Structure 1
Amino acid sequence: MTDKNPDDNPQEDPKGNDASWKFVDQVDLLIKAFGKELEIEPREWRTAGVDYLYRAGSVVVRDEDLPRVIRLFGGGTAHDGGISGVTQLDLPAKVPEEAPRARTDTQRFLRYADLRLGVGVVTPVHLFFVSPSVSPCPATEPEEVPAGIDPAPKGDGHADGNGVKVVVIDVGWTDAPHASWLDGVTGDPEVAFDPGTGLIRPYAGHGTFIAGVLRLIAPKTEVVVKSYFDRAGAMWEIDLAEKLTEALAESPDIISLSAGTKTRFGIPSVGLDVFIQTRLNRVNGLVLVAAAGNDGDREYFWPAASPEVVSVGALAADGESRASFSNFGTWVDVYAPGENLVNAFLTGDYECTERPNTGTIRTFDGMASWSGTSFATPLVAGLIAARMSVTGQSARQAADSLLAYSLTQSIPGVGAILRPEDALR
């Protein structure tokens, strides 16, 4: 393959705009972690914005399409796609001469397949992330809070989530003995501190914070935090489909996923779509709750945009408007508080990586304020769990009841909303 590193020709932002630089700093962290394995579309992403991120030299194909794709490409090496029904195909070294021109070999193969087989038969291996990059989640870096501040927001206390299990798919879990509301939470330990500098790593504490948000709404819910996004807060879609399948072995009622991606042409990610259709939908009552992403636009963000998934956007701190960073559109099911939430975090120093705060050292003592659809998502998952513990409904039934209620308190220009006290409405 002749694909190049996406950062070979860095470009300056002519606007000198801190907001526009923010996503550049975020994507640079992914480039550092994935190197030439990562490609970005378009090439001018530093000034034009990112459409999607994908793996160099590989594509995703449904198993039933694999033979004709290999014939068309003149070869390729098939790999297990993590779950049955989907295959990752490493592309052959030679691009067919009749393939359209494109800036990378991967794009040439994709365009060739579009022309000969139809759009969507062959798709990139998209990169999914909890890290704040092209569709950032969280929307901000963690911020310091005054000593002794209480976590917020909290549920109404009339439903506690007892008997309900939630699996959080994230960066892992860090024990927080100072946060009593997290007692009993378990999970895969995360590597939270940089071994060289001793500083808190970017996106560390994300899973712990999410577990804390959920437990404030449903304090007796069994919560398990998985450490799947342990490479700069990101992973390839094939790997995510496999890990989500593994999570089903935990027998959860709810899966909370504060991660996702935009895709080529905005069509569903094949790996996640196969998981939803052949795994998720076959477990009675199970619900996947997913973040809508933080681009502040209406473009589809997957898997939240899937009809089978409860997609969650973020309300602003005033509780009456949509957060400026939140994605929106008819595919977003509900909006919940997602700005300036306060919850458990790590203890130590953190060096900011995003402009205008790059290089600033923030010192944390076990608590933080954080914003993003990442954190509106576990709030809704907590409401579903809380309702289940009182009504006896399945997660799917409880989610449907809450979404029906959310429509009755829709805000013009925003959409359907849920608040922390709405579990039994």
Structure 2
Amino acid sequence: MAPQRFREQFDHIQRSMPDVALAMGPDDSAEFLYEKGVVLVRDGEDARMVEDTVRAYFTAAPDLDQDRVRRASPESNRTGITRIRVGEPGEGGPRGDRTVAHALRAVREREDRAGRRLVSRNHVVHIAPVNACPGDEPVPAPRAEGTNPSPDGAVHDPETAVGVLVIDTGLLHDCHSCSQLDHVDGDFAVEETDENGMLKQYVGHGTFIAGLVTSVAPNTNVTVLGTLDDVGAILESEFGARLFEAVDRHGWPDLISLSAGTSNGRTDGLLGMDAFMEELREQRTLLVAAAGNNGSATPFWPAAYADLPAYRNSVLSVGALRSDGAFGACFSNHGPWVKVYAPGERLTSALTGFDTPVPYVYQHSTYDDCRFDFSYACTCRHPRHTGVLSDSGAAAKPDQVMFEGYAQWSGTSFATPVVAAMVAAHMTAHKETDPRAASEQLLAGSAEFAEVRGAHVPALRPPTWRPVPIALPSAQA
């Protein structure tokens, strides 16, 4: 049974994509989201072979319709990917798509012979999820207490600043009222509030990330793109093209901070990102990517590219430490494919309301117990609030808060820009022009470690980051 929060997020993302029928999978589980009735293949000979193979397989199965197998998108796009329609998206419910599963099964023998993947689901790439969302929802933080990490006092020099491209949700309209964001550039969010004037979910995500970068590394030229505007989700088939558009528009930067991705049940990456990742490998850019918030060891892409030999120097995957900095956060994904951890719980950064306070209504309720069975005072349980999507009954009134500038927020989404900024700060301090070399130097020169599910892992903690005290029970998580 899919967790309730996953089902709520599924419905939220589905409403944001009214023209795309989505399923949760694989099969009857809730590991990822994908487009119903469609598979992805490479253009050219692979696409023709997959069409023929699936059509023949469906012809031999009396309950499947081979006439439905057809191209759903044209060839010759830059990502080298084609969508093939194998079923009707309106059929069945959201709990898996059997026609897609049959299509994958039909090609499996040919994939085994070819020694490479030929076909894939069209996954939904979304803001690094707790099954499709950040680690928690933001909490207002007093302006007087500043940010955490706090600015290190370095000067911004646009001529020597390190270029950081943030692929996320767009900037909020009043972001430049915050002095830390006065030199941040990029797209502005298309729609910040709903019809009732309430701040929409996720819209401040990119602004919050930009504030973390400039706090840890003030000498950065940060550009925030609204690639993931509207609930922070996009189809895999479109994501690769949007990444190409980003670097075509702004050039290949020193660093890309990406707090989004998906698992896919495989260990060889995302078919829809293959072309972009191959081009990234030939550049000098370092992709710093969030490990995801499923509390799982399952690879989360594109962060998990860091564990593939061809991409180990071009991708750095980041997990989250809890607010004391000593252990992994309950929600953080983990495993050997996560290469470094950084503070990612209860960080404080810029959000919105600098010009005029903005109200927000919580969507999710906190829990009595940690969703991942940890025993420390994690963000699953504290601070307490009731959300619109609460299952505690119709009488439960959702909590409303007012944002007036800063917020406290948690997720690997936010540990990621902290690490990207630490690489940028190292480049500035050591006059290093190669971001990949700077990353290696930073990790090699750090003697800091943390404990994540019994393993000792590399940790990076900014000098200006302050641990947030948490109440621990007698038995440690």
TM-score bracket, normalised by the shorter chain, equals: 0.7 to 0.9
TM-score (norm 2): 0.76
Aligned to 1:99: none
Indicate yes or no: 2:104 matched with 1:128. no
Q: Quick one: structure 1 residues 43 and 354, their matched pair in 2 at CA, closer, same or farther if it must change by over 3 Å?
A: farther
Q: Quick one: structure 1 residues 379 and 122, their matched pair in 2 at CA, closer, same or farther if it must change by over 3 Å?
A: same
Give the secondary structure class of the aligned counterpart of 1:263.
coil
Cα distance in 1 for residues equivalent to 2:288 and 2:185: 19
Aligned to 2:170: 172
Aligned to 2:340: 334
Give the secondary structure class of the aligned counterpart of 2:47.
helix
Cα shift at 1:360: 1.7
Aligned to 2:103: 109
Indicate yes or no: 2:372 matched with 1:372. no
Indicate yes or no: 2:364 matched with 1:354. yes
Cα shift at 1:342: 0.6
Indicate yes or no: 2:142 matched with 1:142. no
Give the secondary structure class of the aligned counterpart of 1:305.
helix
Cα-to-partner distance string for 1:175-225 (whole Å, 9 max, x where unaligned): 323311111101111034334121101101000000000000111210110
Instruction: Select 1:317's aligned residue among 323, 329, 347.
Output: 323
Indicate yes or no: 2:278 matched with 1:297. no
Give the secondary structure class of the aligned counterpart of 1:166.
strand
What is the aligned length?
391
AA aligned opposite 2:430: T
Give the secondary structure class of the aligned counterpart of 2:36.
strand
Give the secondary structure class of the aligned counterpart of 1:265.
coil
Cα shift at 1:56: 1.5
Cα shift at 1:135: 5.1
Cα shift at 1:23: 3.0
Check conservation: 1:128, 1:236, Cα contact below 8 A: yes
Indicate yes or no: 2:351 matched with 1:345. yes
Check conservation: 2:130, 2:294, Cα contact below 8 A: no
Check conservation: 2:427, 2:438, Cα contact below 8 A: yes
For structure 2, the residue ranges without an aligned partner over 5 or more in a row are: 56-68, 89-95, 367-385, 388-397, 466-477
Of 141-150 and 311-320, more deviation after overlay is shown by 141-150
Cα distance in 2 for residues equivalent to 1:244 and 1:81: 18
Check conservation: 1:291, 1:377, Cα contact below 8 A: yes
Cα distance in 1 for residues equivalent to 2:79 and 2:190: 33
Check conservation: 2:86, 2:100, Cα contact below 8 A: no
Give the secondary structure class of the aligned counterpart of 1:148.
helix
For structure 1, the residue ranges without an aligned partner over 5 or more in a row are: 1-10, 14-19, 95-101
Cα shift at 1:328: 0.8
Q: C-alpha root-mean-square deviation of aligned residues, in Å?
A: 2.5
Q: Quick one: structure 1 residues 126 and 218, their matched pair in 2 at CA, closer, same or farther if it must change by over 3 Å?
A: same
Give the secondary structure class of the aligned counterpart of 1:415.
strand
Cα shift at 1:148: 2.2
Check conservation: 1:159, 1:387, Cα contact below 8 A: no
Cα shift at 1:333: 0.8
Aligned to 2:4: 21
Q: Quick one: structure 1 residues 282 and 390, their matched pair in 2 at CA, closer, same or farther if it must change by over 3 Å?
A: same
Of 296-305 and 261-270, more deviation after overlay is shown by 261-270
Aligned to 2:421: 382
Cα-to-partner distance string for 1:127-147 (whole Å, 9 max, x where unaligned): 0001645254x2000112235
Q: Quick one: structure 1 residues 415 and 93, their matched pair in 2 at CA, closer, same or farther if it must change by over 3 Å?
A: closer
Structure number with greater Rg is: 2
Indicate yes or no: 2:232 matched with 1:233. yes
Cα distance in 2 for residues equivalent to 1:179 and 1:81: 45
Aligned to 2:255: 254
AA aligned opposite 1:260: G
Cα distance in 2 for residues equivalent to 1:226 and 1:60: 26
Cα distance in 2 for residues equivalent to 1:163 and 1:311: 23
Cα-to-partner distance string for 1:35-93 (whole Å, 9 max, x where unaligned): 55211114644xxxx12211112211123522211221335216357853522223255
Cα shift at 1:158: 5.9
Check conservation: 1:27, 1:133, Cα contact below 8 A: no
Aligned to 1:420: 462
Aligned to 1:34: 17
Identity %: 36
Cα shift at 1:386: 1.3
Aligned to 2:376: none
AA aligned opposite 1:65: D
Give the secondary structure class of the aligned counterpart of 1:144.
strand
1:76-115 alignment, distance < 5 Å: 76-77=70-71, 79-80=73-74, 83-84=77-78, 86-92=80-86, 103-115=97-109
Cα distance in 2 for residues equivalent to 1:298 and 1:155: 33
Instruction: Select 1:53's aligned residue among 27, 33, 42.
Output: 33
Aligned to 1:8: none
Q: Quick one: structure 1 residues 66 and 296, their matched pair in 2 at CA, closer, same or farther if it must change by over 3 Å?
A: same
Aligned to 1:399: 439
Check conservation: 1:173, 1:208, Cα contact below 8 A: yes
Check conservation: 2:260, 2:289, Cα contact below 8 A: yes
AA aligned opposite 1:124: R
Of 158-167 and 229-238, more deviation after overlay is shown by 158-167
Check conservation: 2:185, 2:222, Cα contact below 8 A: yes
Cα distance in 1 for residues equivalent to 2:362 and 2:345: 19
Cα distance in 2 for residues equivalent to 1:32 and 1:330: 35
